[in-house]
Amino acid sequence: MTGTKTFSAHGKFLLTAEYLVLYGATALAIPLRMGQDLQVMISREQNQGKIFWTARDQQKIWFEAVFDIKNHKVIQSNDADKAAYLEKLLNAAHQLNPSALDTNHNYYVETRLGFRPEWGLGSSSTLISNVARWFDVNSYALHFAISNGSGYDIACATAATPIFYTLTQKNLPHVEPIDFYPPFADQIFFVYSGRKQRSEKSVQQHQLKIEGLSAEILQASRLSKLMAKATMLHEFEEIIIEHNQMMSRVLLMPSAADTLLQDFPGTVKWLGAWGGDFMMVTWQNGIDELKNYLKSKSFDTVFAFQQMVVYDSVFEKK
């Protein structure tokens, strides 16, 4: 058959339990309004059995490739590393559902990121989620076939609200939608640090440090629950401070508050990969003053909580 299909997925922020979520800690995560779309156009024509892949962000084409379905290989691309990842992803999806692609057709795929690729908001996880739905396979099965990550980002990709995410057993996630929209949400902001790290590499680097830390896993789960229930800003800030101290002990690394923003008049927490991507900060004087302060520190990308979190029922009321 011919036709066009379109899929969409949310980006993600991991607010708590980074790394520890891999070992059973319950993490608090939020799906983002920024995400990625994938459109597939199927056609019957000469020289069939190819996937013509174009990846765009908000400004430009950032990756192109041609995938040969019959030989399971990328035969042309403008980036060898991205081509290798795409080849691995498509072959894993094919193994999960060998009948999804028809070699009597060509497929024209275009992806569109709603954020800059370097921001680390989930260019890989949103892609996995969209490809899984295209191939009609389980998104977690596809994720774990090619990644050593926890899968919380896969849960966020299709979540309608913030979530608690727990790996109850190996590769068996438990996802609980939660009511997380603090009364002080207008005092929570997200700041791009300019220090993007590859999550996969980050996990590998810190894996040995975390094994056997059962007390810290329980502590991370407790802090996740407390953060979701906090009704006062000072409670929220105390939880962040305790979480920072715990992760500094676990990873033997300083927190963002101790490195990039030492004199910041609020609390600061790394999100996701320790030492990269975005920071979550609390600030009581409005986003314009925050932007002016951060500009003096060479940080120029700032978003309010309300701009980022997916929680449509809340925004309809406000």
Do 88 and 66 lie in one domain? The reply is: yes
User: What's the CATH number where 71 sits?
Assistant: 3.30.230.10
For the question of whether the overall pTM of this predicted structure is more than 0.85, the answer is: yes
| H-helix or E-strand spanning residue 72 | none
Do 114 and 157 lie in one domain? The reply is: yes
Q: Where does a domain end: 152, 176, 200?
A: 176
Q: Where does a domain end: 133, 148, 176?
A: 176
- Cβ neighbours of 36 (radius 10 Å): 27
Of 123 and 197, more confident: 123
Domain count, the chain: 2
Do 48 and 136 lie in one domain? The reply is: yes
Do 20 and 43 lie in one domain? The reply is: yes
pLDDT of amino acid 314:
44
Do 249 and 289 lie in one domain? The reply is: yes
Domain assignment of residue 231, given as a range: 181-317
Do 79 and 109 lie in one domain? The reply is: yes
Do 248 and 221 lie in one domain? The reply is: yes
Do 171 and 195 lie in one domain? The reply is: no
Evaluate if residue 315 carries a pLDDT over 60: no
Do 151 and 265 lie in one domain? The reply is: no
Angstrom distance (rounded) from CA 257 to CA 185: 20
pLDDT of amino acid 210:
58
Do 12 and 36 lie in one domain? The reply is: yes
pLDDT of amino acid 92:
98
Question: Which residue has tokens 């790996």?
Answer: 167
Do 67 and 87 lie in one domain? The reply is: yes
Do 80 and 159 lie in one domain? The reply is: yes
Give the burial string for 132-171 (b: 16+ CB within 10 Å, else e). Answer: bbbbebebbebbbbbbebbbbbbbbbbbebbbbbbbeeee
* Rounded average pLDDT over 67-92: 97
Q: Where does a domain end: 176, 208, 230?
A: 176
